[in-house]
Each structure stands twice: as structure tokens, then as C-alpha cells.
Chains A and B, each alone.
Chain A
């Protein structure tokens, strides 16, 4: 049930984090807008003052496209070049956003503010970049290993390969292998990012390894959550594409209407991505909290009178503290020396203090 709890919590967190959704949506909108304007400019230049674009009103016209590409051989290359650069930039931009998203959704504060979001973005960028580098190296190695495995497995699965179905099955199995392992790697990187923020980790190789351990210990929960969010993502992504493909807008208003509809789905997609991150943060939190609460027995809080400072009006706070300084000091002496740490930090601290260094005692006889 933790899986469903995390899924629902992710959606709830994303609802609170609507400013983040807006930011990521607008960033993608601007990036796609720039690419689209470049595309429009290239298309307008290629057509010039010709009436040829009218041929596309009723749908795709292959002959005109062939003539266009024949006379403007660099057009496709330019478009693909722009798209490729957008993808690269987007990847690093999302790396930047990810720290802010995780920091914001893991906070118990239900109100997500943009300053806090961007603070998180900046704070974790360097560490996430190092994680990205580690994950990319692992991905390369994985690609190489899976490539070799596929080279061995594909002919085995293909059998005599006499039908398209056999090819489809063998290719599908190999593709599934790649998808499975790479999705696990992506999830490891995701949870390593969550761990980084949760524990304010700075040693990234160790954190990546912790991500690996978490992923494999909690494989079914983590992968199940991933599948839930992936299905949603696919649905959200497919609907606007189909809406765009099957519409045949013949007026500006119709085109604008379809565009706005598609943008609603785009925003939904941006929100869903935040929800997915929120779900991962929640799942990590749930799976970590349960075992630690069983092991760590909190000592009962002593009934010591503690000054209630936060009920004092701020303007007079300084004076009161000064006046009651001896009493406060006395009270502090009575409090057991226990640091208050976030739940997610407890495990790390516990690990550090679990085995105190046993100094060898030399017994003189």
C-alpha cells in the first residue's frame, strides 16, 4: 500500500507545487516556441511569396515537400540541429530544476514558493551534475554490456526467424531488456538525487551506490511507482499528439483552440512530472521511516519546564531572553543532549554512531 500512498502523495505534493509546474511548463513553452519560430522562419523563407503553402491546407502534400527539400537541402538539417540542441539544453535545464523540485516537495511546508524552489535548484546543481556524470558513465557501460548480451540473445530468441512475428518477438525481447535495465538506471539516478537532497549528501559516488541499494532493496515498490507514473505520462503525451494529427484546422480560431487544448495537456504533463518526483520522495520517505521507527526507541522527554519563546511577541523577545538567561541555561542543562534531526537523517547518524570506536584497554598487571 506504500506504493499507492506514495502515488497519491506525489499527486498531492504536485498540487501544492503548482508554481513549479508553471515554471517548467513555461520554460518548455519558450524553448519549443524558439524552435518553432526558427522552423517557421525557415519554412517562410523556403516558400517565399509562393502560394504553395495553400497545398498543405488539406493535409500533408508529399510532392511539394519533396520539391521544397530538393531546393532547400539544408532545411531538414537545420531543423534537426535545432531540435537536437534543444534536447541537450533541456536535459541540463531539468537537472537544474530537479534539485528545486525535490527540495520543495520533500518539505513538510505545504506552501511551495519560487524562491525556495530556485534556492534548491542552485544548491544541488553541482551535485546533480556529478550524479549525472556518474550515471552517464554507468549508462555507457550498461549499453556496452547489453549490446553484447543482445548480440548473443537475439539469434537464440529469433530461432529460424521465418516470420515477422518471430523477428518482432526477438526484437521486442531485446528492446524490453534495454528498457528494463535503462529504466532501472534512471530510477537509481532519481533516488540518488532524492537521497542527496534528503541527507544533504555531498559524496556522489557513495550516494549513487546508496541509490543502487535502495532500488534493489525496494525494487517492486520503486518500479511499481515508476510504472504508474509512466502510464500516466504516456497517456498525457499521446493525447495532444493525436489531437494535433487528426485535427485539420482551417481557420485561425480553430487552430488556436486546438493549440490551447494541447497546451492544457502540456501543462498536465509538466504537473505529472512534478508529481512523479513527489511520489519518489514520498516513497523513499515511507520506506525509510518504517524500519527506523522500529529500531530507534525514542527516550521519553523529561518533564522539564522549557521556556516557551515562540509565544513571546518578537519585539520583546531579545529582552526576555536576556532577562531569563540564567533560567534558560539551567533548563538547557536539564535537557538530555539529543540532537533533533530529520527522520531521513537519523539512519545516517545512527550508522555513524552505531559502532563506537572501542579503544583498546591495556590492563597492567
Chain B
């Protein structure tokens, strides 16, 4: 049980006066099986006797030197009609908050942390304390400046994460003396009380959330990257190889984000490595604090720890500093961040084996991400630009994380890395510590790409984003056929005249997505011809006459279209390669022989 007192100073930055306030009470998602979160997830162990439910209750809410709001608190359900959901409250105000004016509230609350559950809670003496206080929603001015703004304060859903305003946090936490703490921001003081407790004070600026963790069992590993102090709170038995892998991967991420995107402005970063049985807390991001994911005994060639660390650190940029609405446009943080995760993983650990390199089996992080989208049961199930709680038929991760990362890789290959980096740096500089929308990102791309390419890709890049963000269509270009025929009758040909051939190459568009694509033709005399196709029509027939015959052809030879859902149909050859097939056949055969010799029962 957590007893809290909160003083909130909130300023009205909108264009008009505000007559009410809205708050998130996230912990109430775990209060009963009837909450929207529980209903949507449908997977939580609610009936088990050893599970502690989570909840939060506002005991008192008063305007400083003003009215008592406690009895005016009402639960609202802006996203659905679930009357049992208590994750959002509304408080009407007697006195309006005028434009540019502030209100100070004194709030007393009690929070019961659940048994570790969907990011937050406790397991034995490990506490991951997140979404633990009444958190005010975001009051958004509407695009029409004359119109009144509105609260953006969604209920807590199974798929959704968070959205909040930037602010300054000063937090005092009183815990038993032997506990090691980690929290958002920097520690400013630690005061030991006469009893068995101590109070630790943290200060954080330009952040939109505050999370903390506590456990007497943490082993602390400290390091430094440039001027950033890295503090890893891990399990004692993981100090060594695992802690070194954490530090190495986070430094790899810090260096590349610094070079490719922008400066990490905070003085520190805390990485929490939760205990094994608190894995629900793993792989989560909070401002200046992330939770990693590690498994003792996992070979170094399985780089899930590195992947999680790089991904969560990336959220310091895409979520932490560029604070988009994770409820409504999750691709802006998860998708962009997964794109960077694949880039950094591949750059730091190898193009082909960044995620897995074990017994000759290699998987790169890009392959891993792409397969999440391409390998989905139905890659057309839903668009990427969809509020997270509306993925009720599944596909939240496939489209928000994986498809987004794959189409951003496609964009990178289309415009080139330098232009892509310019887009991302510009977007970061423009929108750090603000709340951008998809349109803002597209606007940056529309401004940057023509600067480098003129009208090569059209007036703007809307055609690209419309297809991959709003649309559900798939991209699939195929090299359908190649054929050769002799020109003219042999009898008509002079004695010394060489034979001439007509080579026909048919490239087709099987998917509905339209992309410009190159087609590479190889002839039997070694000559190569590369043609550009705008990819608009259903097919394109290339015909060549001459003494050379077509040998093979490849659509998208440079793998620009990472989003293409079938790489195998991108080429045709009269002499398909047999050696690789034999190579794997031999491997297969030896494996079978080994099995036959080894696995005999009686």
C-alpha cells in the first residue's frame, strides 16, 4: 500500500478558459475483471488467491485556498460505454481557469500496487512503481484556433500506453532503510529517519511521467557515457556478463542516437533489470528510467537483452522527448523507435546476425521486425494509423511496431540514409518536448525530401504515407516471366549472319501498393540493363532485341522495397541456382542421418 500526497500546479496553456479537470487513475485498471483493460486483455489471473489486485483511490482533492473537490469527482468513460471502468475521473471546477492562469491542487491518495502486472506492481520485495499517482490529462487546443480545446484523457486499455504533459517533478519517497531506489530524474538528497525508514528525494525536469523502483536486493553497476551517468540496478547474480551486455548495448544506442538524431539532454539514465519472476515489469520505458529484460544462461548469440535495452533507450527520444500521443498514434513512438532499434542493432552487432547468431542460425533485427508484419496471419487486417485500443482483432504489435519499422526502412532505402537522417533530425528538433501528430511527421518529410530530390518523388510524400499509414494494402512486385525467341527464319539469314533474339521480361504488381521500382536484366553475354518502372500499372513488359539472350531478371534488385511481402518472387532465371539448394539438402541429409543413428529406442 502506498500513501501519497501530491501537489499539482497546472497552467492553462490553451486559448480559452477551462471549467473542469481530468485525471488518469491507471491503477484502477487492475481493480476488477470488469475494467476495460481486463475485458480487452482477457488473460489476467483474476481468480488466483495469491494475486493482489491494484487500485488507486483519491482520498482528498482540494484547490489550494479554494474549494474542496473531493465529492465532485466522477468517473467518466470517454472511449467506451464501460460503466465499470474507473481509470479516468473528471472534476468540475466552480472557478474557471483562465487562459495563461494556473491552479494548485492538493491531493491525497492511496495506491495499492498489484502483484506485478502489466508493467507495474510488486513481486516479493521488488517494487516497480509506475502509473501510481493521479495523473492529469492533456488539454489540447484544437486546430481551429477559435474552437474550444478539449481534454485528451483516455481510459487505460490492454494495448494502450500513455500520454501526458511535460512538467517538473519533485518527489520524496519514504522506504525502509535497506532498500535501493531508482527513479526518474536525479537524486537530490537522502534523509534517514529515526525509525527504520529513509526518505529519498528526486527531481526531474522536462519529463511527462515519474516512475520509481525499490528493492533491497538490487546490485548497482555504474558507468558513464560522455556526460551521462548510467546506473544499472540488477540482480546480484547477473553482475558480470549480463550487466556488461546491458552497459555495452545502452552505450551503443546512446552513441548512435547522438550521431543520427540529436543530443540526449538528461544527465543520467537508470536501467532496471527486474527479477525473473517480475518479468511483467520488463521492457518498459519511463523518462530517464527504463526496464530491461535479461535471462541468465542465455548464450551471447541470443541478443534479446541488447534488443530490449536499445529499444527502451530509444524511447527516451520517441516518447520521452518527442511526446506523441501513444493512445492514438502509437506508431509515432513504437514504429519510429523499432526502426531505430533495427538500425542500431544491425549497426552494432552485424547486418545479418544482430538478434540471433547461434549454431549457424542467424537472424538480423530487420528480418525479425519485417517477419512480424509479413508473417502475420493477415497483413491487411488493419491500418497502422489506428487508435491502439481499436486493434480488437489483434495486430497492434504487427502494425504499430513491425509494419511501421519496415515502411520506414523502405523510406530510408528510397531516399537514402543521409536524407532519412535529415528528416528524423528535423522532426526531432522541431518536436522535442512537444506533442506531435502523424501529420507533423509527414510535413517534415514533405519539406525535406523535395529539398534533396526536387519532384522525383512527386509534389510531396503523402502518397507514401497514405498507403502505409491509412491504407491496409500490401506491396508485392513480381518478376513474372522471362522468355526468348529467335528473330527471323533461319533460311532467310545469311551464312555468316549471327542469330538474333527477342527477349521478353514481364514484371507485375500483385499488391495494391504503388511504388517506384527498378528492374535489372542480365543477358547471356554478361551485359546488364537496369530500367526504372513507376510501378503504377499492373504489369510492365520489357522487350529487347539483339544477339544476346536474357538470362535472368530481378525486380527491385537493391531490396529498396523492404515492405514487399514476398522476396522470393522478385526474380526469374533460366538457370536457377542449384548449389544453395544442394548445400541445404546436404545439411538436411546429415542431420537426418545423425537422427537415425542416434534416436533408436529399443
Contact = CB atoms under 8 A, between A and B. Distances in A.
Contacts of B567: 52, 55, 63-64, 67
Interface stretch (A8-16, A236-244, A320-328, A348-356): A236-244
Interface stretch (A28-36, A148-156, A173-181, A297-305): A28-36
A91 interface: yes
A145 B125 CA distance: 38
A80 B361 CA distance: 19
B596 A165 contact: no
B570 A164 contact: no
B598 A233 contact: yes
Interface string A154-168: 000000011111011
Interface string A82-105: 010011001100110000000000
A71 B476 CA distance: 12
Contacts of B576: 47-51, 53
B202 to A, nearest CB: 28
B599 interface: yes
A56 B362 CA distance: 11
Interface in A255-298: 255, 258-259, 262, 266, 269-270, 273
Contacts of B363: 60, 62
Indicate the member of A37, A87, A136, A190 with the most B CB atoms within 10 Å: A87
Contacts of B359: 245
A262 B237 CA distance: 41
A53 B374 contact: no
Interface in A15-67: 28-29, 31-33, 35-37, 39-40, 43-44, 46-64, 66-67
Contacts of B566: 67, 70-71
B602 A131 contact: yes
A31 B594 contact: no
A323 to B, nearest CB: 55
Interface residues of A, number: 77
Interface string B329-359: 0000000000000000000000010000001
A91 B597 CA distance: 10
Interface string B551-589: 010100000000001111111111011111111111111
Contact of B586 (A59, A233, A259): A259
Contacts of A118: none
Contacts of B588: 35-36, 39
B497 interface: no
Indicate the member of A61, A244, A246 with the most B CB atoms within 10 Å: A244
- Contact-residue bracket for chain B: 35 or more
Contacts of A136: 601-602
Contact of B591 (A33, A69, A241): A241
A245 B584 contact: no
Given A51-B577, A252-B579, A266 B597 contact: yes
A53 B581 contact: yes
A3 interface: no
Indicate the member of A28, A36, A95, A255 with the most B CB atoms within 10 Å: A36
B443 interface: no
A68 interface: yes
Interface string B277-292: 1000000000000000
Nearest to B126: A162
A227 B596 CA distance: 20
Nearest to B278: A162
B585 A189 contact: no
A31 B586 contact: no
Given A36-B589, A255-B586, A266-B593, A245 B360 contact: yes
B582 A255 contact: yes
A87 B596 contact: yes
Nearest to B573: A51
B416 interface: no
A220 interface: no
A46 B568 CA distance: 9
A49 B364 CA distance: 26
Given A39-B585, A51-B573, A262-B590, A273 B296 contact: no
Nearest to B359: A245
A340 to B, nearest CB: 33
Contact of A52 (B296, B568, B586, B590): B568
A244 B579 CA distance: 15
B364 A62 contact: yes
A43 B584 contact: yes
Contacts of B587: 244
A219 interface: no
A164 B598 CA distance: 30
A32 B586 CA distance: 10
Contacts of B573: 49-51
B592 interface: yes
Interface stretch (B17-25, B53-61, B365-373): B365-373
Given A49-B574, A233-B598, A66 B375 contact: yes
A189 B599 CA distance: 15
Interface in A94-126: 94-95
Interface string B361-398: 11110111011001100000000000000000000000
A132 interface: yes
Indicate the member of B572, B579, B585, B596 with the most A CB atoms within 10 Å: B596
A60 B602 contact: no
A64 B362 CA distance: 12
A33 B588 CA distance: 9
A231 to B, nearest CB: 13
B568 A67 contact: yes
B595 A87 contact: yes
B297 A90 contact: no
Given A62-B363, A162-B276, A70 B374 contact: yes
| The 6 nearest A-B residue pairs measured at CB | A36-B589, A51-B571, A62-B367, A245-B360, A53-B580, A164-B296
Given A66-B367, A164-B297, A233-B598, 18 more contacts: A36-B588, A48-B576, A49-B572, A51-B554, A52-B567, A52-B568, A56-B584, A62-B362, A63-B367, A64-B568, A71-B566, A71-B568, A87-B595, A131-B602, A163-B276, A163-B296, A244-B586, A246-B360
19 contacts: A33-B589, A40-B582, A50-B568, A52-B570, A56-B584, A57-B577, A62-B364, A63-B374, A66-B374, A71-B566, A87-B595, A132-B601, A162-B276, A163-B237, A163-B276, A189-B602, A252-B579, A262-B590, A266-B590
